[in-house]
A and B are shown apart, each in its own frame.
Chain A
Amino acid sequence: MTDLATHPTPAARGRSLTDDAIARLRANRAATLSLGVLVLLTLFALFGPMLSPWPYDQVNKDHVWVPPLTDGHLLGTDALGRDLLARLAMGLRVSLAIGLVATLVSLVIGVAWGATAGYIGGAVDEAMMRIVDVLYALPFIFFVILLMVAFGSNILLIFVAIGAVEWLTMSRIVRGQTLSLKQKEFIEAARAAGLGRLAIVARHIIPNLLGPVAVYVTLTIPAVILAESFLSFLGLGVQPPMASLGTLISAGAQDMEMAWWLLVFPALAMAATLAAFNFIGDGLRDALDPKDR
């Protein structure tokens, strides 16, 4: 109360749309919880290897299939006696990195393609989106498999291949948004105020694209992680002794009757990661698009 007396009430500060969105996201319990889970998973991926005295690729023939919580192996060891805790942290790190980088690739291609098509419009738009339609109808995973088989699997190729698959939807979203934004009154107002083309794109179009793009990015990351694991499961992804969640699950599935922990822990890490990203994506969508509620 004394505060009020000594300081005059500051002019009421307006709530920006971003403030609103953040408030809505905070109110979403599943999303906030997922954010926490994701932070923990990331920390584990970054610093997890330090929790284990063994490097992820150290083979120990005397410690094969040690169950969890024995001989200092918190999560047990695999068929070659490698510590699962270290391998899980490494696998999570690789999967998250692939998810982020491949999504970035798809983001760059998709936004550039979609924004160009949407902004220029006309015949160029028609032609560019026809190409996307054609590519959409391709059984893409088979081409990724062919790529992997043809050029051998290396991490760089995985980034590019998966990113190149996932950009299609992104470009459609961005194009649709650009098209509808172009006709909005506030763009016209900006134009009437004498703003240049570039300034309109930078100040008005791109900030308004950000919402849907952010939502789709959060939903693309788990799709990419899944795609990589899928390739790894078929033996075409990350190559040993490197690990990803996919290779760990694949190896765990082979040994599950002898050593359940090799399947269960990587599968749990995978499920937690995918669930977290999906809940955050759904939460972001609800937060950024109030009319959906």
Chain B
Amino acid sequence: MLRFIGRRLLVAGPTLLVVITLAFFMMRAAPGGPFASERRLPPAVEQNLKARYGLDRPLPEQYLAYLGGVVRGDFGPSLKYPDKTVADILKQNAPVSLKLGLASMILALAVGVSLGVLAALRRNGVLDVGAMGLAILGVCVPTFVTAPLLILLFGSTLQWLPNGGWNGGALPNMILPVIVLALPQAAILSRLTRAGMIEALAAGHVRTARARGLPEAAVVLRHALRPALTPLVSYLGPAAAGLLTGSLVVEKIFNLPGLGKFFVISALQRDYTVVMGMIVVYAVLVLALNLLGDLMLAVVDPRVRLS
């Protein structure tokens, strides 16, 4: 187990390096710069600014300096907000995205798993049809359609919930974004659960459990559910990536001060350091969740040998 974790961490290192390198040089290849605004700065001022942030040095030197900073946990100052460091900005925005993502994941799991199980138990029943409907909906109706429609219905027309804004993470402000973000994941999870459950219910050990006269609830919950859920665990990493991607749109539509909203703005403003910091955070998050998924898979399914 420890050796497995160690090896995966060894792979994670080069992956992060690739991420940082690609992002660094892509950002620098972009035309314009952080100080090229509508109001042209006098050349001397711009020169001074560049010198202050070390942007006048040769690119390879800047790259190495940046890498050194990241290794020490220093993401540098923001180029657009002179009084803030990248760490400040991340600390300010990450909690919003994390809270949103976590709540969506929990909702998606709760809805997806229970719907998938019930659908498998009553095949071709009302719930099964409902689960299939949800699965199709989740695939065909993207977040940027569900979000405006839900805002139109519950926000503007019924006025039950706010149209957007964060308001310190108050529950009414959270409901719509969380539902929108959770829906595609819930769809995939319900499909995975249903398929796993159908397979598990047909397995020999479940038939044995039934033959021993165990109550149906025990058969389903103790014997069928566990093998049925193993595919879900390995979906954890991709699900996290999906939530991150979705958060870009959701945070924009609902005007939430999270990382996703900041990412696009910072990239457009050429705030090099902030964009880099966010990419690193995203990459670490996805890598960590992938690793966690693999580890949990080994815990849930003893047949899986980590090597």
Contacts and interface: CB of A to CB of B under 8 A. Distances in A.
Nearest to A134: B15
> How extensive is the interface on chain A, given as a class?
35 or more
Nearest to A246: B144
A27 to B, nearest CB: 18
A137 B286 contact: yes
B275 interface: yes
A139 B268 contact: no
A234 B248 contact: yes
A226 B142 contact: yes
B202 interface: no
A278 interface: yes
A149 interface: yes
B180 interface: no
B141 interface: yes
| Chief secondary structure at chain A's binding surface | helix
B239 to A, nearest CB: 13
A178 interface: no
Chain B's interface: helix, strand, loop or mixed, by majority? helix
A137 B139 contact: no
A145 B264 contact: yes
Contact of A270 (B19, B142, B282, B286): B142
A146 B156 CA distance: 34
Contacts of B286: 137-139
Chain B contact residues (Cβ within 8 angstroms of A): what range? Answer: 35 or more
Contacts of B22: 138, 143
B43 interface: no
A141 interface: yes
A146 B249 contact: no
B267 interface: yes
A157 interface: no
A256 B152 CA distance: 8
Interface in B1-58: 11-12, 14-15, 18-19, 22-23, 26-27, 29-31
A233 interface: yes
Interface string B177-207: 0000000000000000000000000000000
Given A137-B287, A143-B23, A253 B144 contact: yes
B15 A137 contact: yes
Contacts of A141: 245, 248
Contact of B148 (A137, A253, A271, A275): A253
4 nearest CB pairs, A to B: A150-B30, A253-B148, A274-B140, A149-B267
10 contacts: A135-B18, A139-B245, A146-B26, A150-B27, A230-B248, A230-B249, A234-B252, A249-B144, A272-B140, A274-B139
